[in-house]
């Protein structure tokens, strides 16, 4: 695998590294970023995300932390696998090695499992991998959120090259009128000596017609296998975007993601069974593709679920995407067996009628005889 990747990287590097007198167009720079990021074919990563909050509330008013003031950091630990479009991640809010939730994305369908609640959610898309708690590693160098591809959107918009900063190419990407993240703009600093991978990026939002800073991200790159550069650490500065806040425009906090290189591998074979998730009997399943909620383990589940979907029972359309079930949500029980108490009673009545009729008929026959 590594020899194969090295050969690909060598061929790409001949294209990624322009001569000193050959200015690149913005399209060529973006193509090289695209090619460099795609050299990361697969990974088995252990990551740690630490969230340090800079803003606290005092008497209901936001303020920055005072010098010497400290509060516990929030930590999220993850073990994430990738192979092509497939992702599988196990997540925990502490470092004890026990994972409280799992996410599986097979390229089309996302399955999320919350172990303490014994609940599974099925839906189209890849969004939750881009949330804060379930940070997808690829988000820091290629995607904006989930499956929203920063490189692809940069190519689709009227991006332009700004003056280079040192040896870094600076690409400015404006907002647009339609599509994903239409009101988001970003700027990315790409390193031609490291396969045009990002060293920094910033993002702005258009809010009430005004451009507001959202995020700054700095990345540490390392040659993880020969010819392949990848981020091994990222620091995101998150800005306060509430104009009513006393600290509007200030950094709210810094999220630091680090890759534990002693427990991580890049471009290695990943077993196919890693990307399978068996839902145990008795688990609650929120199926957003068929708009139903049920308990795993029902008899003839395919026919059962198809009937429920056709009848429109137990709709979950109004549930927030990715949210937990409310206490008022009704769960479809396992499908009862054919011989329910009601059916047994009805059968007994029918048998009694038939027997009574037979006795009466026999007596009448005897009289005639």
Task: Decide: 217 and 202 in contact? Cβ < 8 Å.
Answer: yes
Rounded to the nearest 5 degrees, what angle is found at the Cα of 30, between the Cα atoms of 29 and 34?
120
Position 6 pLDDT exceeds 50: no
Strands 119-124 and 284-287: parallel
Residue 208 lies in a domain: yes
Q: Quote the strand ranges of the chain, DSSP E.
A: 42-53, 55-58, 61-64, 74-83, 86-92, 101-105, 109-114, 119-124, 143-145, 148-149, 160-165, 168-173, 184-191, 197-207, 210-225, 228-239, 251-259, 265-266, 284-287, 292-295
The C-alpha atoms of residue 159 and residue 176 are separated, in whole angstroms, by 11
Please report, rounded to a whole number, the percentage of residues in the chain having pLDDT higher than 90.
51
Query: 334: pLDDT confidence band, cut at 50, 70 and 90?
Result: very low
Domain end among 269, 296, 330: 269
Give me the DSSP letters along 13-75.
HHHHS--TT-PPPHHHHHHHHHHHHHT--EEEEEEEEEEEE-EEEETTEEEEPPTT---PPEE
Query: For 317-343, what is the mean pLDDT?
Result: 45
Residue 17 lies in a domain: yes
Last residue of a domain, one of 250, 269, 288: 269
Looking at the fold, whether 38 and 174 belong to one and the same domain comes out as yes
210 lies in the same domain as 71 = yes
Q: Which residue has the higher pLDDT, 83 or 93?
A: 83
262 plus 355 within the same structural domain: no
pLDDT band for position 309 (50/70/90)? low
pLDDT tens-digit readout, 10-28: 454 444 555 445 789 999 9
Domain-located, residue 275:
no
Is residue 193 located within the same domain as residue 47?
yes
In a domain, 111, yes or no: no
- Does the residue 120 lie in any domain? no
Range of lowest pLDDT (132-141, 148-157, 244-253, 270-279): 132-141
- 30 and 166 in a single domain? The answer is yes
pLDDT digits (tens, 9 = 90+) for 250-296: 999 999 999 999 999 999 999 999 999 899 999 999 999 888 899 99
- Give the confidence band of 239 by pLDDT, cuts at 50, 70, 90: very high
Predicted confidence (pLDDT) at residue 302 exceeds the cutoff of 80: no
> Helix or strand or coil: residue 327?
coil
Same domain for 196 and 86: yes
**236 and 354 fall within a common domain:** no
Q: Which residues contact 98 (CB under 8 A, 6 or more apart)?
A: 92
Q: Which two tokens stand for residue 364?
A: 């009448």
Q: Is position 53 within any domain?
A: yes
Tell me the mean pLDDT in the region 225-247. 95
Report the alpha-carbon distance of residue 195 to residue 150 in Å, rounded. Answer: 17
Query: What angle (nearest 5°) sits at the alpha carbon of residue 191, between those of residues 241 and 141?
Result: 45
Report how far apart the first and last C-alpha atoms of the chain are (Å, whole number): 95
State the pLDDT at residue 303: 61
For residue 174, is it within any domain?
Answer: yes
DSSP letter for each residue of 84-102: TTEEEEEEESSSSS--SEE
For 72, the domain range is: 2-95+130-269
Count of domains observed in the chain: 2
Q: Report the C-alpha dihedral over residues 203, 205, 209, 211, rounded to 10 degrees.
A: -30
Q: What CATH code is carried by the domain that includes residue 20? A: 2.50.20
Asked if the structure places residue 319 within a domain, the reply is no
248 within 8 A of 29, measured Cβ to Cβ:
no
Say whether both 206 and 355 belong to one domain.
no
Mean pLDDT rounded to a whole number for the chain = 82
Claim to verify: residue 23 and residue 142 sit in the same structural domain: yes
**Residue of 119, 83, 123, 124 lying closest to 102 (CA atoms):** 119
pLDDT at residue 98 in the model:
80
Statement: residue 337 has pLDDT above 60: no
What phi and psi values does residue 74 have, to the nearest 5 degrees? -95, 135
Which of 229, 250, 269 is the last residue in one of the domains? 269
């Amino acid at each position: 695998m590594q020899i194969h990747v090295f050969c690909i990287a060598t061929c790409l590097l001949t294209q990624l590294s322009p001569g000193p007198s050959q200015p690149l167009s913005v399209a060529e720079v973006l193509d090289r970023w695209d090619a460099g990021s795609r050299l990361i074919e697969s990974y088995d990563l252990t990551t740690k995300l630490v969230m340090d909050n800079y803003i606290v509330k005092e008497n209901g008013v936001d303020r920055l932390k005072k010098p010497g003031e400290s509060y516990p950091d929030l930590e999220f630990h993850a073990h994430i696998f990738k192979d092509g479009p497939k992702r599988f991640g196990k997540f925990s809010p502490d470092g004890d090695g026990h994972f409280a939730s799992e996410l599986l994305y097979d390229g089309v369908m996302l399955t999320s499992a919350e172990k303490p609640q014994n609940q599974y959610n099925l839906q189209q898309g890849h969004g939750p991998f881009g949330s804060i708690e379930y940070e997808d590693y690829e988000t820091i160098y290629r995607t904006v959120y989930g499956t929203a591809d920063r490189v692809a959107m940069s190519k689709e918009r009227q991006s332009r090259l700004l003056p280079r900063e040192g040896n870094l190419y600076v690409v400015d990407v404006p907002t647009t009128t339609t599509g994903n993240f239409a009101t988001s703009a970003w700027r990315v600093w790409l390193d031609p000596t490291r396969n045009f991978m990002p060293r920094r990026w910033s993002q702005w939002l258009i809010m009430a017609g005004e451009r507001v800073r959202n995020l700054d991200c700095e990345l540490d790159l390392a040659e993880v296998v020969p010819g392949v550069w990848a981020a091994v650490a990222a620091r995101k500065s998150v800005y306060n975007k509430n104009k009513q806040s006393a600290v509007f425009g200030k950094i709210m906090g810094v999220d630091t993601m680090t890759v534990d290189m002693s427990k991580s591998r890049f471009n290695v074979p990943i077993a196919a069974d890693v990307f399978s998730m068996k839902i145990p009997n008795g688990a609650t399943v929120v199926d957003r593709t068929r708009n139903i909620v049920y308990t795993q383990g029902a008899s003839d589940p395919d026919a059962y679920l198809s009937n429920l979907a056709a009848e429109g029972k137990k709709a979950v359309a109004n549930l927030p995407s990715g949210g937990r079930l409310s206490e008022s949500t009704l769960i479809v029980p396992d499908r009862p067996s054919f011989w329910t108490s009601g059916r047994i009673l009805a059968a007994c009545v029918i048998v009694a009628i038939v027997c009574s009729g037979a006795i009466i008929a026999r007596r009448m026959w005897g009289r005639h005889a």
